[in-house]
Structure 1
Amino acid sequence: MFDDAHLDLVLDIVKEAAGAEIRPRFRHLEDGQVSEKKSSIDLVTDADLLAEKFITEQLLERWPDALIVGEEAYESDRSVVGRLREAELAFVIDPVDGTFNFQAGLPIYGTNLAVVRKGETVAGLIHESVLGDTLLAVKGAGTHFLGADGRRNPIRVAGPVALSDMVGTISVNDLAYEEKRRIAGNLAKTKMAFGYNCSAYEYWMVATGKVHFIGHHSLMPWDHLAGVLIHAEAGGVTSRFDGTPYLPGDTSGGIISAPDKDCRDMILREVIFAS
């Protein structure tokens, strides 16, 4: 069984992994501890592999029948993503989201973890291991900032504004040149476009109201499930580009997160789909 009372235990596991496997390797990676997966910007480090192994083993020790969907484990068993729709209990993990930044020595990375029950995300956290702060959401109970110093504060998304006053980002790294150029050009309609190459930080920014919107074309669950719930419980609206909900197991269709439905539709119309 898993209930809200177990979230403190899950967060403790994530923090232990950060202390044992992630922080000690930040800015201390040696030759041979970083390798390419698909390209020079799609990387994996020893921190990714060992932190995922640590978290997976600790979760299975307590919930031995749970489905574990980790970004690195997916490379050896790609069936796990589809099984999210039916699993009684699943944990979805990205131990070091923002690996490119991590290996470059930039403190813009985080650990994503989502709890899924019977095809529904019921809890999510993003842990920022440099300062030790966390965003934690429980479905129906809001999103809270948990400071390393013990603070616990509710958070809210930004309010709706005109497109020309918005700050946000649409990730275009996986797109072909012409599509990339078109969307990047449309972002000039906003007040400022930014990019962190780290979905954990992007969801952190949009959920805490520091930016208005974020969007992605690639929908792997470890990048988005935790962040989407965190954003929704902070008052925001997220959907795929066609307006349908983003659910565990979805891997295509694009995704947009915004303050409300009208802002979402405006961004889709003026940025994503405008010629």
Structure 2
Amino acid sequence: MHVTPQQERDLIAIMQDAARAEILPRFRNLHADEISTKSHPGDLVTAADILSERRMTAAIPAVMPGAVVLGEEAISVDPILRDQIGLAATSVILDPVDGTWNFTKGVALFGMILAVAHREVPDFGVLFDPVAQDWVVAHAGQPTRFVTADGFSQSVHTSDERDPAKMTGFVPFEIMHRHHRQTVTAAMDGFASATALRCSCHEYRMIARGQAEFLISHHKPNPWDHAAGVVAVKGAGGVARFIDGEDYNVARPHGYLVSAASEEIWQMVADRFRFLQADAV
């Protein structure tokens, strides 16, 4: 069953509520004991992440009866939950604060991500900016929209840029395997900008809105980072597949995902970075 217009409104309202109650009061107001480290020093979690995820997880079943709700922080505590993604008939996948590193530094470049998947296929996504109070929303097979809290809504489209020297791409250089870094640097040469925002939410928003041309994922493409963005990019006219050509699915735990404004750009980026495929495990 696809997400209905009423469910869309209710899910976004749940995100707005969590932002007001748990995230925005802590922005630039975190205490040291509200910040912890997960897998490595740059992988942070805060009280805002944990409490907003709990709040949304409690509220979503009333809107999506029967759906399995899976959040990044719950999976961090109990990794076996990751295996449920792709098995459930319907799953709601949450990243309560995407861009936590930026959030902890007081940089307003973070977002909230919500995706709905049916089995392995993402069907709906919201990329929400809690500071600006606007969002990119997408249903599979429908045009992606940019929406503001005052009711403005507009279809968006990916970039039609064809010159690499004018393209912007997002490459997570700092979390790629060290033995690839020199080759990655060489592959990035020739683009106007190859950078990373440390926030998948805003990277996907920019691609969907025609403000950047491509994104390459980490070799572990966590669905809470990518599922909603894939739906948004495709609904805006773009392409998202693993670098080996396989269609994106939320259950696949390894492999570099390439999301691009067009098939032409996808092919160009995949060709340049094909060497990553060898150890995408």
Short-chain TM bin: over 0.9
Q: TM-score, normalised by structure 1?
A: 0.95
**Partner residue, 2:275:** 273
* Contact persistence 1:183–1:272 (CA under 8 A): no
* Contact persistence 1:4–1:138 (CA under 8 A): no
**Partner residue, 1:121:** 122
Secondary structure (helix, strand or coil) at the match of 1:239 reads: strand
Give the 5 Å matches for 1:208-223.
Answer: 208-217=209-218, 218-223=220-225
Q: Distance in 1 between matches of 2:21 and 2:274?
A: 41
* Contact persistence 1:81–1:221 (CA under 8 A): no
**Partner residue, 2:232:** 230
* Contact persistence 1:124–1:138 (CA under 8 A): yes
Once superposed, what is the RMSD of the aligned Cα atoms? 1.6
Tell me how far 1:135 sits from its aligned partner. 0.5
Tell me how far 1:43 sits from its aligned partner. 0.3
**Partner residue, 1:258:** 260
Tell me how far 1:180 sits from its aligned partner. 1.8
Aligned length: 274
Q: Distance in 2 between matches of 1:270 and 1:116?
A: 30
Q: Which moved more, 1:262-271 or 1:204-213?
A: 262-271
Q: TM-score, normalised by structure 2?
A: 0.93
Q: Distance in 2 between matches of 1:265 and 1:192?
A: 18
**Partner residue, 1:3:** 3
* Contact persistence 1:97–1:198 (CA under 8 A): yes
1:23 equivalent in alignment to 2:21: no
**Partner residue, 1:51:** 52
1:12 equivalent in alignment to 2:13: yes
Q: Distance in 2 between matches of 1:262 and 1:3?
A: 31
Tell me how far 1:271 sits from its aligned partner. 4.0
Whichever residue aligns with residue 53 of structure 1, its letter is: R
Tell me how far 1:173 sits from its aligned partner. 2.5
Tell me how far 1:86 sits from its aligned partner. 2.6
Tell me how far 1:79 sits from its aligned partner. 2.9
Tell me how far 1:77 sits from its aligned partner. 2.7
| Deviation digits for residues 210-259 of structure 1 (CA, Å, limit 9, x no counterpart) | 01111112301100000110111010001001011110111211011112
| Deviation digits for residues 155-180 of structure 1 (CA, Å, limit 9, x no counterpart) | 00001413222111211222232302
Tell me how far 1:194 sits from its aligned partner. 2.3
1:109 equivalent in alignment to 2:110: yes
Q: Distance in 1 between matches of 2:87 and 2:58?
A: 22
* Contact persistence 1:84–1:118 (CA under 8 A): yes
Q: Distance in 1 between matches of 2:182 and 2:110?
A: 26
* Contact persistence 2:117–2:123 (CA under 8 A): yes
Tell me how far 1:54 sits from its aligned partner. 0.3
* Contact persistence 2:10–2:63 (CA under 8 A): no
Q: Distance in 2 between matches of 1:54 and 1:40?
A: 26
Secondary structure (helix, strand or coil) at the match of 1:273 reads: helix
**Partner residue, 2:163:** 162
Q: Distance in 2 between matches of 1:174 and 1:70?
A: 22
Q: Distance in 1 between matches of 2:169 and 2:119?
A: 32
Moved over 4 A (4+): none
Q: Which moved more, 1:30-39 or 1:163-172?
A: 163-172
Unaligned ranges ≥5, structure 1: none
**Partner residue, 1:83:** 84
